[in-house]
Structure 1
Amino acid sequence: MTSIAQLDANSTPQAVRKAAREGSLTGPTSGLASGYVQVNLVILPESQAAGFLRFCQANPKPCPLLAVSEPGARTCTLLGRDLDIARDVPAYRIYRHGHVSDTRTDVAEDWRDDLVTFALGCSFTFEHALISAGLQVRHIDEARNVPMYNTSVPLTPAGGFGGNLVVSMRPFVAADAIRAIQITTRYPQVHGSPVHLGNPSLIGVADLSAPDYGDSVSVGENEVPVFWACGVTPQQVLIDSGIEFAITHSPGHMLVTDIPDNSLALF
């Protein structure tokens, strides 16, 4: 069994997935297997899949679509080899009738032949580029999950889905914030450039110390909070839509793929 103590930025995606499958990795995946794409998962019955696809197309910033599985498939060759969608995520959420009914480390027993998996880009992917440029990513430095917040920013309704944007936040001094914007703009398939920086109340965030998902991090007096669209957005959308049944990753607990993150950079 792979110990969580053995996992770090230099771990392979296969090692991270194996640890999740064995149950030794149950925490967030930020900072693990640097250089490889991490993805958000939304798993829906086929009857809801076409509508959710239209929703993703209408809202590419929070829902950048990287892959869609065949109904019932627990593998996806676009994402990686020796990959089991139902077992290779450290923590999953199960939704029933618009509520999170359970959090599990394995959803193999809940799997159905009609389930379609949507893999959406995750901002954990571009963190490797930020760190390589000499920027400090606060939640990694503090060994915490990234802070995520519900906002008042409306999404474009489509396919029977709608709601408001969820964002992740990373604080930087002004010069580093500018550099972070330049770097992340290169990665539109993993949320790309920020959606807001500065005063959080302008997007409906009342208290940075009380995130709706993840953990709070320290923010210095000379630092600017920078907000990116977040792949937790569709999780809140599933709740708002009252979805009968769905599975997602638990916030911050991603599926680590075999895709090199530099393959998604535009320039």
Structure 2
Amino acid sequence: MNQPISPLELRQRIRSGEHTGNTSGFSQGFVQGNLCILPKDWANDFLQFCQLNPKPCPLIGMAANPGEYRLPSLGQDLDIRTDIPRYRLFKQGELVDEVTDVSDLWNDDLVTFVLGCSFSFEEALLADGLEVRNVTEGVNVPMYRTNIECQSAGRFGGTMVVSMRPMKAADAIRAVQICTRFPSVHGAPVHLGDPSEIGISDINRPDFGDPVTIKPGELPVFWACGVTPQVALEQARPPFCITHSPGCMLVTDLPNSRLAVM
């Protein structure tokens, strides 16, 4: 178990280069977010894509104006250019680099979006006594491209990426009940059981993240995943885009409880 650390302290460690890895399990109780930064003439299309696809792209924050890198509604002294452990840089839809700081790339044309992350509902599952296998095994959650079509918006479209956590049937039912309360962090699962029905040919070879053990008698349970926008970006091919590296999230000051609906 990671030592307790406040979101602000963790962001400061990330900014200084002291923490450069996965953020799962850190600053428990607080919302972590996926990142997408685009030129302003692509921002409206992406905003509409998020609004039409709230399960994989639940928007929890965005910059009020192009060029803003402070998001005070999400955290004290939060600097989007430095406070994520690893960023991915895309040009014309192609991944060209991973870096730990994007300050040198920043300009007044960029618009920041922050999307809800499954790490928040994982805490709710754990609190209810359910096992989350990627947490148990200390790896990043396995994520897969699927054949589930997203609703298109302007230049953005494509298929959904899902994350998977294996569970016994009774636990999967309980997970549906728990996660339904968290629509801002992907909500209830989108599929249970046979992975081939959603276009996954090999459950042991995820497209992102790491494989986990699936024990006899367990079902693979699939949630909509915040890596979906990266697939949409690959297809839309904007001239430039910045995202988080999978597993390396923006840790906010928002308590997870604020995103729960009763």
Above 0.5 in TM-score? Answer: yes
Match of 1:185 in 2: 180
Does residue 30 (structure 1) correspond to residue 35 (structure 2)? The answer is no
Q: Unaligned 5+ residue runs, structure 2? A: none
Q: Deviations over 1:79-125 (max 9, x none)?
A: 10111101110110000011001001111111111110011111111
Match of 1:107 in 2: 102
Counterparts of 2:86 and 2:203 in 1: how far apart (Å)? 25
Q: Deviations over 1:194-251 (max 9, x none)?
A: 0001000000011111100011111101111110000000011101111210000011
SS of the aligned residue for 1:219 comes to: coil
How far apart are residue 15 of structure 1 and its match? 2.0
Q: Which amino acid aligns with 1:233?
A: T
Counterparts of 1:242 and 1:169 in 2: how far apart (Å)? 27
Match of 2:255 in 1: 260
SS of the aligned residue for 2:8 comes to: helix
Counterparts of 2:47 and 2:61 in 1: how far apart (Å)? 11
Within 5 Å, give how 1:62-73 maps onto structure 2.
62-69=56-63, 70-73=65-68
Counterparts of 1:183 and 1:122 in 2: how far apart (Å)? 15
Match of 2:143 in 1: 148
Percent identity between matched residues is: 55
Counterparts of 1:224 and 1:30 in 2: how far apart (Å)? 23
Q: Which amino acid aligns with 1:238?
A: L
Match of 1:81 in 2: 76
Mean Cα deviation higher: 227-236 or 70-79:
70-79
Q: Which amino acid aligns with 2:212?
A: V
How far apart are residue 35 of structure 1 and its match? 0.6
Q: Deviations over 1:7-51 (max 9, x none)?
A: 926221112212211112221111111110000011001111011
Does residue 237 (structure 1) correspond to residue 232 (structure 2)? The answer is yes
Counterparts of 1:136 and 1:22 in 2: how far apart (Å)? 33
Match of 1:205 in 2: 200
Counterparts of 1:245 and 1:107 in 2: how far apart (Å)? 13
Counterparts of 2:134 and 2:209 in 1: how far apart (Å)? 10
SS of the aligned residue for 1:206 comes to: coil
SS of the aligned residue for 1:160 comes to: coil
Match of 1:120 in 2: 115
Scaled by the length of structure 2, the TM-score of the pair is 0.97
Match of 1:96 among 91, 94, 109: 91
Q: Which amino acid aligns with 1:216?
A: P
Counterparts of 2:201 and 2:18 in 1: how far apart (Å)? 36
Mean Cα deviation higher: 91-100 or 19-28:
19-28
Counterparts of 2:229 and 2:159 in 1: how far apart (Å)? 9
